[in-house]
A = this chain, B = another copy of it.
Amino acid sequence: MKKITMKDIALKADVSVSTVSFVLNNIGEKMGISTAVINKVLLVAQELSYKPNMIASSLRTGETRSIGLIIEDISNQFFADLAKVVEDEARRLNYRVFYCSTGGDGQRAEELVNSLLQANVDGFIIAPTEKLEKSIDNLVKMHVPVVMIDRYFPGQSVSSVVMDNYEGAYLATKKLMDSGCRNIAVVNVNSGMIQMKLRESGYENLLKEHGLYDESLVLHVDFQDSESDKITKIADFLKLHSKIDGLLFLSNYLGLCGLQAFRQLGIEIPRNISVISFDDHDSFRLHTPSISVVAQPIVAMAKKAVDMLVSQMTSGKQAVIENVMLKGDFVERESV
């Protein structure tokens, strides 16, 4: 079962390899190949069930029709959903996707960028971790197309697609307030990343506008902490501030830990405390009671990111920076 190449087709169809290449790339007509020859080549290609060798084509053209997707953790549902939409959308445009998880580790992230660069991906979609800023600077300097998703570095001239995190948190906090909560706490991760800061600002500003802000009701846990450490920290925080009657979790894994903390402490939602989390998750839908969330518009974000990247990749080097912000969806459930 030898590999069929263009040479085999050329031989059998009694034309040159160039002609075969033109026909198979659908530029036969443009190159003035006669219809008869075009049809013959097509027929022979089919008979031999020819499959183009993308490696050879990539070497020659310098393009791989592939996209590198760098995310934090593929086993986090938010990223898995994101990856799936990116994959589907890319396939539709005849691109392949390489996924990689950084695990929040800056060094690993940098290695991944290099390794994808070495694989000659045509462009990157990146949900960056903190230490990735200079790697991305490098990509930009090398004129490699990049689109950031979910997060970005303020001040860096790179295209991005994000949710309006400030507004999402602002409105979620307002929901809690409107439902009667007056001691609304927030749980955030200790992170310099802009999307987390904006979420916290949304929370903070809404409360300040109503004179309800209390700095001691802000808890930061470390991303690197184990799940049980996070749960313990949240539980301790809740024990310390028993007046808390509303709680906003700024990411899905924080919310998941929080639910376990409530359970340990026997706190009932929404009787004792009203709860909203960022990012939707099966467990929030399924929880008793179900948990209201600020869901990211994952499908729209992923599609937009792919489209922006592809247009960067195909439109030559004039890098048009585009920063897109999409509205989140508030999903009302039983927890408020």
Contact = CB atoms under 8 A, between A and B. Distances in A.
Interface of A: 1, 51-56, 58-59, 64, 73-75, 77, 80-81, 83-84, 87, 96, 98-101, 114-115, 117-120, 141-142, 256, 259-260, 263, 281-283, 286-288
Given A1-B142, A80-B80, A283-B282, A120 B53 contact: yes
A74 B81 CA distance: 8
| Residue from A54, A81, A142 with most neighbouring chain B CB atoms (10 Å) | A54
Contacts of A55: 55, 58-59, 64, 119-120
Given A56-B59, A74-B83, A96-B98, 7 more contacts: A54-B118, A55-B120, A73-B84, A74-B87, A77-B77, A80-B80, A259-B286
A286 B288 contact: no
Given A1-B142, A98-B96, A141-B1, A286 B120 contact: no
A68 to B, nearest CB: 11
Contacts of A98: 96, 98
Given A1-B142, A75-B80, A75-B81, A117 B286 contact: no
A44 to B, nearest CB: 19
A120 B73 CA distance: 27
* Secondary structure class of chain A's binding surface, majority of residues: helix
Contact of A54 (B1, B52, B120): B120
Contacts of A114: 51
A228 to B, nearest CB: 12
A118 B80 contact: no
CB-CB nearest 3 A-B residue pairs: A283-B283, A75-B80, A55-B59
Contacts of A1: 141-142
A114 B119 CA distance: 20
A260 B285 CA distance: 9
A286 B256 contact: yes
Contacts of A281: 282
Contacts of A59: 53, 55-56, 59
A53 to B, nearest CB: 7
Nearest to A52: B118
Given A59-B55, A259-B286, A288-B288, A74 B64 contact: no
Contacts of A256: 282, 286
Most buried by B among A52, A87, A101, A286: A286
A291 to B, nearest CB: 10
A135 to B, nearest CB: 14
Nearest to A77: B75
Contacts of A75: 77, 80-81, 84
A53 B59 CA distance: 9
Given A80-B74, A83-B74, A288-B263, A119 B54 contact: yes
A118 B115 CA distance: 21
A96 B87 CA distance: 17
B118 A101 contact: no
A139 to B, nearest CB: 11
Contacts of A283: 282-283, 286-287
A74 B80 CA distance: 6
